[in-house]
Amino acid sequence: MNRPTFVEDRPLTLVNEHAHAWSPKTARSRFRAGLTGPTAGVAAGHTQANLISVPADWAYDMLLFCQRNPKPCPVLDVTDTGSWTTVLAEGADLRTDLPRYRVWRDGELVDEPTDVRAYWRDDLVTFLLGCSFTFEWALSEAGVPVRHLEQGRNVPMYVTNRQCRPAGRLHGPMVVSMRPVPPEHLAAAIRESSLLPAVHGSPVHCGDPSGLGIDDLARPDFGDRVDAEPDDIPVFWGCGVTPQAAVMASRPPFALTHAPGQMFLTDARDEQYRVA
């Protein structure tokens, strides 16, 4: 699969170090005003979401694709046709309130704007999917280092050799995010993430990346390279960029998505999705 090379390969306007204390509403207003950058750690304690909007005649295929592949595609909300609002964030506009978007035509990436009102269509149905940034607070509270936060980078994401279960016209490989975890913290990382299945839950793989068909951890398909400590174990979680891989593989005529790592900030609290 060819890797799109738009703004992820150019410097971003980074969210500042105080962003963890922002309210979701403040974060959305700043993104609406043009602030861009990875949202890991922003509005700490609030749930983040991946976004994909597809034409209504593709919406059932997308819903079925998510239902059949819940690890990378856990659904938090689905909008009415043409709606740019969500019950997850009162007053939010899904066309303007993310740091950056991606615009797809026939499976090809054609633009990465900070506002998609010019591209909006009245037949679009939007899916908001759980994001693993949400459980990073639980990892940190359990003492698990989160290396990309320590290094001020976006989380690395990789296209794997694991094919998702097809649904209608949609098919494609699973994408994973990776966090290096010290061996003594591995059990805690698995335990804490497994308690949040709505935001990807437990890892899909730990250890040798070749088991997922990943050749070089230093060259992620999306996001940034993250430096691991010598004894760290690479741990992989299902990733909400998976629908973008499906768009590239299945080539629907049109789609809008978030830019990898630049998520929608909801008003929901993380603990709402904790199962125990």
Which is nearest to 184 in space by CA: 220, 145, 219?
145
User: Into how many domains does the chain fold?
Assistant: 2
Residue 34's domain spans which residues?
Answer: 20-132+250-273
Q: How confident is the model at residue 8 (pLDDT cuts 50, 70, 90)?
A: very low
Q: Residue 258 in contact with residue 50, Cβ under 8 Å?
A: yes
Residue 243 falls inside a structural domain: no
Residue 5 falls inside a structural domain: no
pLDDT confidence of residue 7: 44
Do 84 and 145 lie in a common domain? no
Residue 248: pLDDT above 70?
yes
Do 115 and 187 lie in a common domain? no
Mean local confidence (pLDDT), 104-116:
98
Residue 10: pLDDT above 50?
no
pTM higher than 0.85: yes
Do 110 and 151 lie in a common domain? no
The pLDDT mean for the chain works out to 93
Residue 2 falls inside a structural domain: no
Q: How confident is the model at residue 1 (pLDDT cuts 50, 70, 90)?
A: low
Residue 157 falls inside a structural domain: yes
Do 160 and 98 lie in a common domain? no
Do 81 and 150 lie in a common domain? no
Mean local confidence (pLDDT), 189-215:
97
Do 173 and 233 lie in a common domain? yes
Q: Residue 176 in contact with residue 209, Cβ under 8 Å?
A: no
pLDDT confidence of residue 15: 60
Q: How confident is the model at residue 99 (pLDDT cuts 50, 70, 90)?
A: very high
Q: What is the 3-state secondary structure (H, E, C) of the chain?
A: CCCCCCHHHCCCCCCCCCHHHCCHHHHHHHHHCCCCCCCCCCCCCEEEEEEEEEEHHHHHHHHHHHHHCCCCCCEEEECCCCCCCECCECCCCCCCCCCCEEEEECCEEEECCCCCHHHCCCCEEEEEEECHHHHHHHHHHCCCCCHHHHCCCCCCEEEEEEECCCECCECCEEEEEEEEECHHHHHHHHHHHHCCHHHCCCCCEECCHHHHCCCCCCCCCECCCCCCCCCCEEEEEECCCHHHHHHHHHCCCCEEEECCCCCEEEEEEHHHHCCC
Do 191 and 263 lie in a common domain? no
Residue 245 falls inside a structural domain: no
When mean pLDDT is compared across 23-27, 150-154, 181-185, 261-265, the lowest value belongs to: 150-154
Residue 88 falls inside a structural domain: yes
State percent of the chain over pLDDT 90.
88
Please write the tens of the pLDDT for every residue from 17-39: 688 899 999 999 999 999 999 99
pLDDT confidence of residue 12: 39
Residue 15 falls inside a structural domain: no
Do 148 and 231 lie in a common domain? yes
pLDDT confidence of residue 69: 98
CATH number at residue 70: 3.40.1640.10
Q: How confident is the model at residue 11 (pLDDT cuts 50, 70, 90)?
A: very low
Instruction: Give the pair of three-digit tokens for residue 148.
Output: 């990309």
Mean local confidence (pLDDT), 41-49:
93
CATH number at residue 193: 3.30.2040.10
Which residue has 């595609």 as its token pair?
73
Do 140 and 119 lie in a common domain? no
Do 125 and 141 lie in a common domain? no
Please write the tens of the pLDDT for every residue from 48-64: 999 999 999 999 999 99
Do 220 and 261 lie in a common domain? no
Residue 78 falls inside a structural domain: yes
Give the span between the Cα atoms of 132 and 53, in whole angstroms. Answer: 20
Q: How confident is the model at residue 6 (pLDDT cuts 50, 70, 90)?
A: very low
Do 66 and 97 lie in a common domain? yes
When mean pLDDT is compared across 4-8, 38-42, 164-168, 203-207, the lowest value belongs to: 4-8
Residue 2: pLDDT above 80?
no
